[in-house]
Amino acid sequence: MNVSFLKKINYFRIFKWLIGIIIVLILIIMGLFLWARQPLSSAKHQATTLAEKKVGIKSVDHFYMSDLNRTYYTIEGPNKDNQKQYVIIEKKTGSINVANVKDGISANEAKSVANQKQRIAKLISVAPTIFNEKPAWAVSYFNSKNELNYAVIDFKSGKVLRFIANV
């Protein structure tokens, strides 16, 4: 009886079903990933549209997001005069602040300043933001003890405005 049952099992059919299930699972996972990224993609599109219409940004070189007390989206790109600018947009109000790239320190310099304050083991992000109504860099990272730290660096002077250790 067992021998006849084994003969009736079609291994090729089982293999096709397993492949089909795996493909469906992969598609579901990809769909969830795209769905989860949709809000950030939408925010980037809205920020880009605002930067182009209100400030005259011609193209987007970088998109940043920072979130300390408020959420800011930043578009980096050249204006119509080919001067690189950061267009920093507050998420809630839509207020726009513009900073010329040449008027402040770079992202690498902000990272270096934060590293002097406390050694960076793993960098999470370096993003332009607004702090006390002025442009700044928000640097978030893990130190060697795997503690989360934030440093807010003044955009123009490079001074540490706020340091939050072991969040």
Instruction: Give buried/exposed letters for 37-51 (b at 16+ CB in 10 A, else e).
Output: eeeeeebbeebbebb
Return the pLDDT at 4: 56
d(CA 35, CA 67): 21
Question: Binning pLDDT at 50, 70 and 90, where does residue 3 land?
Answer: low
Render pLDDT for 20-54 as a digit per residue (tens, 0 to 9). 999 999 999 999 988 887 877 788 888 888 888 88
Residues with Cβ within 8 Å of 131's Cβ and at least 6 positions away in sequence, in order, are 68, 138, 152, 154, 161, 162
Domains and CATH numbers, the chain: 107-164 (3.10.450.40)
For residues 14-25, average pLDDT: 92
d(CA 112, CA 81): 30
Percent of the chain with pLDDT over 90: 52
pTM given for the model: 0.75
Beta-sheet pairing, 84-90 with 62-67: unpaired
Return the pLDDT at 36: 84
